[in-house]
Amino acid sequence: MDKISNLEKQIAYLQEVLRCKEEELRALQANEQHASFCSPDKLSKDDVERFSRQIIIPAIGCKGQMALKTSSILIVGVGGLGCPAAQYLAGSGVGHIGLVDYDEVECSNLHRQLLHTEDSIGVPKVTSASIALKKLNSSLRISEYHTQLNSSNALNIVQKYDIVIDATDNVATRYLLNDACVLSGKPLVSGSALRLEGQLTVYNYNKGPCYRCIFPKPPPPETVTNCGDGGVLGAVPGVVGVLEALEAIKIVLGCSGILSGQLLLFSAESSAFRNVRLRTRNASCDVCGENPKISHLIDYEQFCGAKATDKDSSICLLREEQRINAPALFDSFVSKCEGLLIDVRSPEEFEMCAVPRSLNIPLKNIDEPDSVSQIITALQDKQAEQNPFPVYVVCRRGNDSQKAVLMLEKVLKDQNVAVRDLTGGLHAWARKVDSDFPIY
Amino acid sequence: MAPPQRGEVGGQGGQDPPAGVSVRVLLFAGARELAGTAEGVLTGLPADTDEAALLQRVTEAFSLHAMAGTFILALNQDFVAAGDALRLRDGDEVAVIPPLSGG
Contacts of A254 (CB under 8 A, 6+ apart): A67
Q: Please indicate, yes or no, whether residues A345 and A372 belong to a single structural domain of this protein.
A: yes
Q: For an interface test with B, which of A175, A242, A276, A304 has the most B Cβ atoms less than 10 Å from its Cβ? A: A276
Quick one: fold of B27-97?
Ubiquitin-like (UB roll) (3.10.20)
Residue B87 bridge partners (DSSP): B48
Q: Please indicate, yes or no, whether residues A267 and A329 belong to a single structural domain of this protein.
A: no
Instruction: Note whether A215 contacts B33, CB cutoff 8 Å.
Output: no
Q: Please indicate, yes or no, whether residues A227 and A299 belong to a single structural domain of this protein.
A: yes
Residue B4, pLDDT > 80, answer no
- Say if A59 falls within a structural domain: no
- Of B75, B2, B11, B77, the closest CA to residue B32 belongs to B2
Chain A: closest CA distance from residue B75 (Å): 9
CA atoms within 13 A on the CB side of A74: 24
What's residue A104's pLDDT?
Answer: 97
Residue A315 bridge partners (DSSP): none
- Say if A37 falls within a structural domain: no
Residue B1, pLDDT > 50, answer no
CA A286 – CA B69 distance, rounded (Å): 16
Residues in chain A: 440
Number of domains composing chain A: 2
CA A300 – CA A310 distance, rounded (Å): 14
Q: Please indicate, yes or no, whether residues A224 and A86 belong to a single structural domain of this protein.
A: yes
Residue type at A420 in one-letter notation: R
State residue A66 phi and psi, 5-degree precision. -65, -40
- Say if A18 falls within a structural domain: no
Q: Please indicate, yes or no, whether residues A274 and A340 belong to a single structural domain of this protein.
A: no
- Say if A386 falls within a structural domain: yes
What's residue A296's pLDDT?
Answer: 96
Chain B: closest CA distance from residue A217 (Å): 6
Q: A235: buried, middle or exposed (CB in 10 Å: 19+, 13-18, 0-12)?
A: middle
pLDDT per residue as tens digits for the range B40-80: 999 999 999 999 999 999 999 999 999 999 999 999 999 99
What's residue A38's pLDDT?
Answer: 44
The catalytic residues of A are 227, 395
CB pairs under 8 A between A and B: 101
C-beta separation of A112 from A84 below 8 A: no
pLDDT per residue as tens digits for the range A275-284: 999 999 999 9
Residue B19, pLDDT > 80, answer no
What's residue A37's pLDDT?
Answer: 43
* E strand segments, A395-435: 417-422
CATH number at residue A396: 3.40.250.10
- Rg from Cα positions in chain B: 13
What's residue A363's pLDDT?
Answer: 96
pLDDT per residue as tens digits for the range A92-105: 999 999 999 999 99
What's residue B10's pLDDT?
Answer: 43
Q: Please indicate, yes or no, whether residues A401 and A271 belong to a single structural domain of this protein.
A: no
When pLDDT is averaged across residues B93-98 and rounded to a whole number, the result is 98
Residue B11, pLDDT > 80, answer no
Confidence of residue B31 (pLDDT cuts 50, 70, 90): very high
CATH number at residue A94: 3.40.50.720
- Say if A56 falls within a structural domain: no
Q: Please indicate, yes or no, whether residues A399 and A290 belong to a single structural domain of this protein.
A: no
Q: SS in 3 state form for A158-181?
A: HCCCCEEEECCCCHHHHHHHHHHH
- Say if A39 falls within a structural domain: no
What's residue A302's pLDDT?
Answer: 94
Please report residues of B whose CB lies closer than 8 A to that of A113. none
CA B70 – CA B28 distance, rounded (Å): 13
C-beta separation of A74 from A98 below 8 A: yes
B65 inside 8 A of chain A by CB: no
Residue A210 in marked binding region: yes
Q: What is the mean pLDDT of each run of 10 residues along chain A (440 residues)?
A: 87 88 81 54 90 96 96 98 98 98 97 97 98 96 97 98 97 97 98 97 97 95 86 97 98 97 97 96 96 96 90 86 96 94 96 96 94 91 78 96 96 93 97 95
Please report residues of B whose CB lies closer than 8 A to that of A214. 72, 99
In A226-353, which ranges are continuous DSSP H helix?
A: 227-230, 235-253, 300-304, 326-329, 347-352
- Say if A23 falls within a structural domain: no
Q: Please indicate, yes or no, whether residues A146 and A285 belong to a single structural domain of this protein.
A: yes
Q: Please indicate, yes or no, whether residues A286 and A395 belong to a single structural domain of this protein.
A: no
Q: Please indicate, yes or no, whether residues A169 and A203 belong to a single structural domain of this protein.
A: yes
- Say if A127 falls within a structural domain: yes
Contacts of A214 (CB under 8 A, 6+ apart): A263, A278, A279, B72, B99
- Which residue among A223, A232, A276 sits closest to B79, beta carbon to beta carbon? A276
What's residue A339's pLDDT?
Answer: 93
Domain region containing A381: 320-433
Domain boundaries, chain B: 27-97
**Alpha carbon A412 to chain centroid, angstroms:** 38
CA A385 – CA A287 distance, rounded (Å): 64
What's residue A138's pLDDT?
Answer: 93
